[in-house]
Amino acid sequence: MTEDTRLIEKIKNGDKNAFNELVKNNLYLAESYLNKFNYSKENKEDILQDGYLFIIDSINEYLSKNRNESLNNYLHKKMRYKMKKIIQSYNTNREVSKIVLKSDWFDFVSALENKELVNQIKKFIIGTDYFTFMQKNVLMAKLGLINNRILSDVELGRAFGCSPDNFYIKFIESKGKLRGAISSKKIEDDKPYHFDLFSYLGVSEEIGRNVIKKHLSKDEINLLKKVWSNDFSLMSNFEDIYLSEEEILSYYKVIGKLYNIIINVDMVKEMSETGINYGYAPRR
């Protein structure tokens, strides 16, 4: 039994971490096929990111149906054609490739000369429903939007109670999604922005406040207020958020704890307690 086959069996048996491991084991195909073609070195990171996203989509597609060929053969057949198309698209569309989210992207925001665009990106990540809750947190943590502190996959895993591999894959997906939004100018579209904690969580204000009151300690609530203001109605400007190194890690643990409570909460009970007839939980 191959390693891929073993992981696929684990996925079928409900092992969520096995999918992330399966993806990581096959990401090398993007660079392997990239090196078979001529391409502009300045576009390498962008091309690889598109390749990674295609691998994730292809694995999902493979798992969705019973196939008579191995995953390895399936990916090899698709990757040669796809990587060639991706490279061609960058060679013919230089404007799109000018905005690059580098794989080390520690200074991505400061590297962009257009500061208005930088601020628009921040607003777009936090204030719209284009990203899921987890994607927003991955981007916040990996862009270092709080005190320029960039969290590792291990730190995020501890904060949210997940495998670090889970955040590695989320990072690839989120970065690709943001790159797509920038290049297609989605971030410039007119849209309503919501900068309160409850919109960020994707839950009604009444239920959100009730959950916070019942399940968070005073210190945890005060930490949230440092980022989301005293009544949680408006995220502070990132430049005005001052958290210590320890507080930044604690913040993500608190937001992770709150998220896990909300997605597992008994909505019927919460609606009864708060006297409302609606409620919703965040998209993962």
Same domain, 73 and 120: no
Neighbours of 30 (CB within 10 A): 22
- The structure tokens listed for 154 are 């291990």
Per-residue pLDDT of 183-228, as tens digits, reads: 777 777 767 788 899 888 888 888 888 889 989 999 999 999 999 9
165 and 267 part of one domain: yes
Amino acid in position 268? V
How far apart are alpha carbons 137 and 235 in whole angstroms? 14
Asked, for residue 165, whether it belongs to a domain, the answer is: yes
Q: Residue 166: exposed, middle, or buried by beta-carbon count in 10 A (0-12, 13-18, 19+)?
A: buried
108 lies in some domain: no
Q: Answer whether residue 189 is part of any domain.
A: yes
Tokens describing residue 21: 């491991």
Alpha carbon distance, N-terminus to C-terminus of the chain: 32
Same domain? For 57 and 92 the reply is yes
**What is the domain extent for residue 73?**
3-97
Taking only the tens place, the pLDDT of each residue in 67-122 is 788 998 999 888 888 888 888 777 655 444 344 444 344 344 444 445 667 778 88
- 264 and 124 assigned to the same domain: yes
Please indicate, yes or no, whether residues 84 and 127 belong to a single structural domain of this protein.
Answer: no
> When comparing pLDDT for 130 and 42, which is higher?
130
CA-closest candidate to residue 127, choices 187, 60, 209: 187
**Of 56-60, 67-71, 101-105, 242-246, which gets the smallest average pLDDT?**
101-105
Q: Residue 147 corresponds to which amino acid?
A: N
| Per-residue pLDDT tens digits for 139-177 | 988 888 888 888 888 888 888 878 888 888 888 888 888
CATH number of 40's domain: 1.10.1740
Q: What is the pLDDT of residue 104?
A: 41
What pLDDT is recorded for position 277? Answer: 62
pLDDT at 282: 57
CA dihedral 235, 239, 243, 248 (to 10 degrees): 70
Mean pLDDT of the chain: 81
pLDDT at residue 170, rounded to an integer:
85
